Amino acid sequence: MADTSTTTDEYTGVISVDSSKASFRNRLGQFSSRYAVVGVWIALAGLYAALIPQTFLTQGTFRTIFGSQQNQALIFLTAALLCTIIVGEFVDMSVASNFGLAAVTVSVLNVNHDWNVWIASVVAIVVATVVGVVNAYLIVKLGVNTIVVTLGMGTFLLGVGLWATNMTTVFGLPKDFSQITLFTVFGLPVGFFYGLLLMLIFAYILRFTPLGRNMRFVGENREVSRLAGVRVTRIRFGAFVMAGLIAGIGGVLAAAGTGGFDAGVSQMYLLPIFAATFLGSAVLQPGRFNPLGTLIAIFFLSTGVLGLQILGAQGWVQQVFYGGVLVIAVTISTILGRRSR
C-alpha cells in the first residue's frame, strides 16, 4: 500500500500529495528513536522480573537501582562530564580523579587532622574547582590538547589522593554528617533527589536559557559561534570550572554517604561515566548529549548489571556490560549525530 495519495485540482491542474501516512511514519520513527532505550530498559526489567521475581521484585532492588551510592556518584560525574562535552571538549578524563580528590580531602582533613567537617567540605569543593580552573587555563588559554591535559591531570590527582591517604581507606566521618545524603525521603536516600534536581536544572539551562543555547552552539561550531558574537573562550573556560565544582560537590556527598573514601575507587567510575553519557545521547534527544537522557542511561545500566548479578554472574560481568554498552552507545551516538546534521 502506498504511503501517499495524489489529487488534481480541477481548476488549476495542480497535483497535491497527501503525505499524512508518511508523516505518521516519520513521527513514529522519531518517537522510537527517542524512547527505544527506555523500551529496552522496561523490557529488561520485565525479563528479570519473570526470571527472578522473588529477588528482583523487591524494595531492596528498587533502592539499589535508584538510590545506591554508586549511582548517586555517577549522576554528579556524568553531569560534570556533560559540562565540557557539550561545548565540544572531548573528553575530560580527570573528572573521576577530581571527584576522588574532593572525597579524600574532606576525609583526611576531618579524620586525620581534626578539621571541622563543614569547613573541610568547603575546602574540598574549592580544591576540585581550582583543578577545573587549571584545566581550563591549560586547554582554553594555552591551547594544549584536551585529552593530554585531562589524562595527565587525572593521573596526577590520583597520585595525590593515594599519597594523602597513604594508600589506605580513610574512614570515620561524623555519623550526623552522613545524613546530608542518606536521609530517607519517600523511601529513597535524599542524595537521589540531589542528583535528580541537578540534572533537571542542567536540562532547563540547556533548553530555555541563552547560556545553554550558546553552549550547544559552541559545541557544534566554535568558529561560527565566535563570528556570531558568542563569547566562546568564556563559555569553554566556564565549562571546565563548573565541571570541577560539580565533581567536588559529588565527591563530598560520596564521602559523607560512606563515612570516608579510598582514592583508588574513583578510577572504577571512568567506564560507567562514559557508557552512561554516550548512551544518554540516544535517549530523548537522539544524537545530542543531554542530562535527562544520561540520567535514564544510568538507571538502565544499573538495572542491567544488578539483574545479571542476581542471576549469579560473577564480578567481571560489570566490566563486560559497561564496556559493551559503551561501544554500542558510541556507535549509536555517531550515527544519530550524522543524521541530525
What is the Cα–Cα distance from 165 to 67, expressed in whole angstroms? 28
- How much is the pLDDT for 327? 81
Residue 114, sorted as left (phi over 0), alpha (psi -120 to 50) or beta, turns out to be left
- How much is the pLDDT for 11? 47
- How much is the pLDDT for 2? 46
> At residue 115, what are phi and psi to the nearest 5 degrees?
-75, 150
- How much is the pLDDT for 123? 97
What is the Cα–Cα distance from 172 to 107, expressed in whole angstroms? 8
Give me the torsion for CA of 242, 247, 253, 257, rounded to 10°. Answer: 160
Mind listing the pLDDT tens digit of every residue in the chain (341 residues)? Answer: 445 555 555 544 544 545 666 666 666 556 666 777 888 888 888 988 998 888 888 888 889 889 888 899 999 999 999 999 999 887 889 999 999 999 999 999 999 999 999 999 999 999 999 999 999 999 999 999 999 999 999 999 999 999 999 888 898 899 999 999 999 888 899 999 999 999 999 999 999 999 999 999 998 889 899 988 899 999 999 999 999 999 999 999 999 999 989 988 888 898 889 989 988 888 888 778 899 999 999 999 899 888 888 888 777 777 888 888 778 777 776 666 566 55
**Helical (H) or strand (E) element with 184:** strand 184-185
- According to DSSP, the residues that pair with 185 across neighbouring strands are 188
Task: Mark 54-63 as b/e (b = at least 16 C-beta within 10 Å).
Answer: eebeeeebee
- According to DSSP, the residues that pair with 8 across neighbouring strands are 15
Other CB atoms within 10 Å distance of the CB of residue 310: 17
Give me the torsion for CA of 119, 132, 91, 320, rounded to 10°. Answer: -20
- How much is the pLDDT for 73? 93
Whose cell is 544510568? That residue is 298
- How much is the pLDDT for 59? 87
- How much is the pLDDT for 57? 86
CA distances, 37 to each of 34, 158, 186 (Å): 8, 34, 26
- How much is the pLDDT for 29? 58
H helices of 68-169, in order, are: 69-85, 95-107, 117-136, 146-164
Does this model's pTM top 0.95? My answer is: no
**Helical (H) or strand (E) element with 251:** helix 232-258
Grid cell of 157 as nine digits? 590527582
- How much is the pLDDT for 58? 87
